[in-house]
Amino acid sequence: MTSSTVRPGARHILVAGGGIPGLALALALKQAHGPALAATLCDPALASGGSRQRGRAYAVAAGARRMLERLGVWERLTGAAQPIHDMAISDSRLADPVRPVFLTFGQDREGEDPFAHMVEAEPLVEALLAGAREAGLVLDARGVSGARPEGRAMRVTLSDGESLAASLVAASDGARSRLREAAGIGWVGRSYPQMGIVATIGHARDHEGRAYEHFLPGGPFAILPLTRGGRLGHRSSIVWTERAADVPALLGGGPEEVLAEIERRFTLNLGALSLEDGPSAHPLAFGLARSYRAERLALLGDAAHVIHPIAGQGLNLGLADAAALAEAVSDALRLGMDPGGEDVLRAYERSRRFDALAMAAATDGLNRLFSNDVLPVRLIRDLGLGLVDRSPALKRFFIGEAAGLRGEQPRLLRGEAL
């Protein structure tokens, strides 16, 4: 645990959950307000640092990258961020000898910043933690077991029984958020009959910053470029969606059998392959909180929404939540308002709810469209991919959406100070 000097009468913000969105929110607020704001982040996983995220990697969109740059986090990731220069999308069956590319993104963006970077979770979490310690954020390796409104504050009970008061509690405690349930906020969702498999793959040839998304009947198989390393000199992360009923057989063999299954989907474009880390399988689900707020409580990240990984936007949605909540709270503090007041939380919810709903619906629809082998549907979707590929305006639109650069964005996502 670290502590900081807090000015008498300072407001207190408590973040429950030390994942990337929660860390980013707490860091942004503490950097913006210093001793005028007491900020505490509670999570038992803090005791293990970034190691709890080992083996995972994220596509950080351009807007989220601007936020991390503004927070001083991006500069700590030198050598750990791999730009995605372009992306190729194919649609085929597993047994097809050739996988024709129907759509490419990024090749017409010469001279522009990459629309995304791949960053492994472990160095990203460590960079956020380093920034948090430098800013004087209190990092508490205890969990939050409960929180209830008490006058003009929230009475928060920690896992060891100690309690403290906070002006606002930000729940970033995951899809099964205990704080969301305790506040009586409903959840609308369902489980997919699929699992997501993640692993780090070594390969002999340079990926040259190109990502691949192979749409297969069982679900998308994404190959995402990572920085150099591994036994063969080059690495990529895979996000492999497969029917849940098939996963035990696919992953139940030894490393050689698992690698053979990966090779069938990976193709040989990048030469010989090796299994560097993983695989690990995770159930997939769709879910949205009925509200992003309760009295002196705000939800963000997976506590507010869970989406299919088909577009790689889960982390970016969470960081956009953090940026919007930090802006609403910061503006209230500067105006002398209550940062946990109903008007502040309503403004936060209004700024984020539609965006999350639209992304959840889009990813759910894409998964339904591409995770099947019905011939008429395949013909229609491949025609649609081809039409997009031939339309520069449509490609720019979709790239802007993927980069998080369209629409009205919170200041941090524009690279501006709070």
Tell me which residue of 217, 206, 299 sits closest to 19, measured CA to CA. 299
Give the pLDDT score at 287.
Answer: 95
Give the pLDDT score at 278.
Answer: 85
Number of neighbours of residue 107 by Cβ within 10 angstroms: 12
Give the pLDDT score at 159.
Answer: 92
Tell me which residue of 322, 347, 324 sits closest to 337, measured CA to CA. 347
pLDDT band at 3 (very low <50, low <70, confident <90, very high): very low
pLDDT band at 5 (very low <50, low <70, confident <90, very high): very low
Rounded average pLDDT over 123-130 = 95
Q: Determine the Cα–Cα distance for residues 158 and 152; give it in Å rounded to an integer.
A: 19
Strand partners, 48: none
pLDDT band at 1 (very low <50, low <70, confident <90, very high): very low
Mean pLDDT of the chain: 88
Tell me which residue of 394, 95, 132, 84 sits closest to 217, measured CA to CA. 95
pLDDT digits (tens, 9 = 90+) for 160-186: 999 999 999 999 999 999 999 999 999
Give the pLDDT score at 395.
Answer: 58
Buried b or exposed e, range 334-350, using 16+ CB within 10 angstroms: eeeebbbbeebbebbbe
Statement: residue 20 has pLDDT above 70: yes
Give the pLDDT score at 336.
Answer: 92
Q: Determine the Cα–Cα distance for residues 298 and 406; give it in Å rounded to an integer.
A: 25
Q: Determine the Cα–Cα distance for residues 195 and 171; give it in Å rounded to an integer.
A: 26
Q: Determine the Cα–Cα distance for residues 19 and 76; give it in Å rounded to an integer.
A: 18
Q: Determine the Cα–Cα distance for residues 50 and 46; give it in Å rounded to an integer.
A: 8
Rounded average pLDDT over 254-264 = 92
Statement: residue 11 has pLDDT above 90: no
- Reading the block at residue 401, the tokens are 């959406």
**H or E segment to which residue 319 belongs:** helix 314-334
Q: Determine the Cα–Cα distance for residues 26 and 338; give it in Å rounded to an integer.
A: 17
Statement: residue 8 has pLDDT above 50: no
Statement: residue 334 has pLDDT above 70: yes
pTM to 2 decimal places: 0.91
Give percent above pLDDT 90 in the chain.
Answer: 68
| Contact yes or no for 225/209 (Cβ under 8 A) | yes
pLDDT digits (tens, 9 = 90+) for 76-116: 998 999 999 988 888 888 877 777 787 787 755 555 778 89
More confident residue, 399 or 49: 399
Please tell me whether residue 396 adopts helix, strand or coil conformation: helix
Q: Which CATH class is domain 11-53+119-189+287-370?
A: alpha beta
| Contact yes or no for 57/237 (Cβ under 8 A) | yes
Give the pLDDT score at 382.
Answer: 67
Q: Where are the domains of the chain?
A: 11-53+119-189+287-370
CA dihedral (239, 240, 243, 247) positive or negative: negative
Q: Determine the Cα–Cα distance for residues 375 and 43; give it in Å rounded to an integer.
A: 48
Statement: residue 4 has pLDDT above 80: no
More confident residue, 101 or 198: 198
Give φ, ψ of 236 to 5 degrees. -140, 155
| Contact yes or no for 227/235 (Cβ under 8 A) | yes
Statement: residue 363 has pLDDT above 90: no
Statement: residue 117 has pLDDT above 50: yes
